[in-house]
Copies of this chain bind each other. A is one copy, B any other.
């Protein structure tokens, strides 16, 4: 399996055209954060924001409103338990990230089901974490969208039916083909599949081994696909950059937290921006 090529990253992170405005960089909706896991959707939001998404709305439990504004006043809030809010907002997004901190209980199910009904097939869905678990747990029918799944190995087992010990390129690719999706299989060296190709992320450090890393990556992916037109390359670039930042910070830190990575995204995107 080939490593992600740095030239893909550099070609993806284009110099922004001068006459662009916030509408150029997409409207991202992030859905998650129940009463226990509010931090997850907040980190995903901050990651999408620092990645350059044009407009961000976070749909979460109202207990998370203040923390959301504290971390990311640039993001708008909506109550994910309010059906009329979902009905009004969901159709307005280019990209929807669902899963971080959403949980898997009846209320989580109600929300994901509602969202899957409301999406239209021009929207890109990033499905992460508990949202992946629920697809299997409640036997949900996937909407007919461009979907990016971001499972860790156990979640991939649930979604694909492939046991962790059997998760190799050939087996994974068969399921990816059936899903007709992009799959970001998170592990020490994360693998990124689409129907045609698979690349491995060369970076990553054990200093990152902390809760919240996946939420942060999901948010970055949301931010990247919202602004870069080739989705697969956008995902490759987000995965690459997420660990490139961690690797750099790990030179001086025994522990690299998601919030550390988030703060450095704008600077690292600049470093990898295509020049000339």
Contact = CB atoms under 8 A, between A and B. Distances in A.
Interface of A: 13, 16-22, 24-25, 35-40, 42-43, 49-56, 63-78, 187-188, 205-207, 209-213, 252-260, 265-267, 269-270, 273
Contact of A36 (B17, B50, B78): B78
A269 B20 CA distance: 27
Contact of A255 (B18, B188, B213, B269): B269
Given A35-B65, A36-B77, A254-B273, 17 more contacts: A16-B205, A16-B206, A18-B188, A19-B188, A21-B209, A22-B209, A22-B210, A22-B211, A25-B209, A37-B76, A39-B72, A43-B73, A55-B210, A66-B66, A74-B257, A76-B211, A253-B267
A54 B211 contact: yes
B63 A65 contact: yes
A267 to B, nearest CB: 6
